[in-house]
Structure 1
């Protein structure tokens, strides 16, 4: 087991002892997702912390989309619940990069790939997302890449 899985299990036990229903339900859902991913990967291949981070990001994205739909549908109480679940899940994400740090990475990737304008968006996104390794949301990276590439055209 990875260190992150151990931390999640430990926090799950703490949530049980503290009778923290929200945290407990979110961590049970996360643990279930981890177990499902482990079954899919096979018992001989243990999940890494990076695999678990991908699962956490996926669950955060699902909660964000659900909260948006609830909000649009007028179910603000359910949207609030989804947002509260996101806060619990975010505790297992690495520290997020600042916008300036993202722009520095984008500039470095552009230099490495020889990006010349908006037509290079695809190759820039792939390499930039690999470089940030979950430390920035894809939408923030996309904005930074678009901003950088649009400056090259001017």
Structure 2
């Protein structure tokens, strides 16, 4: 069983006891998303910790995008709720990479693949993505790779 999923369940119970409504609702939503993902496809199976981390990363991104949309629409209360949910979910993600750490990983991947031009970006991304999963947004990784290969 995935340790991260167990931690989410345990924290949900604690949030229910503490009557922390934001945390409780957020963790329920995350666990529901995990359950949906597990039964999707041809065979039901349990997600690994890496797959749960990827799902959590997507959920945080969705919350941030929704908060931005709500702010643009003048709905600050809804934006604040989305941001609060993003903070709760982010607690379960690995420590974010610094720019220097990301640069080092990208530089090593470029050296390993022998990439020389932006056409080789796919090779580099394929090597970098598993190393940075859940620790930095894909758009930032892509921008860093592109800048180094330009």
Query: Structure 2, unaligned stretches of length 5 or more?
Result: none
TM superposition shift of 1:143: 2.4
Aligned match of 1:9: 9
Aligned match of 2:88: 88
Q: Write the deviation string for residues 57-102 of structure 1: whole angstroms up to 9, x where unpaired.
A: 1111111111111111111111111111000000110111111111
The answer to whether the aligner puts 1:26 opposite 2:26 as a matched pair is yes
RMSD of the alignment, in Å?
1.4
| TM-score between both structures, scaled by the size of structure 2 | 0.92
| TM-score between both structures, scaled by the size of structure 1 | 0.89
Q: Write the deviation string for residues 105-153 of structure 1: whole angstroms up to 9, x where unpaired.
A: 1111111111112222232222211232322221221222122123xxx
Query: Structure 1, unaligned stretches of length 5 or more?
Result: none
Aligned match of 1:75: 75
d(CA) in 2 for partners of 1:35, 1:119: 38
Aligned match of 1:103: 103
Aligned match of 1:48: 48
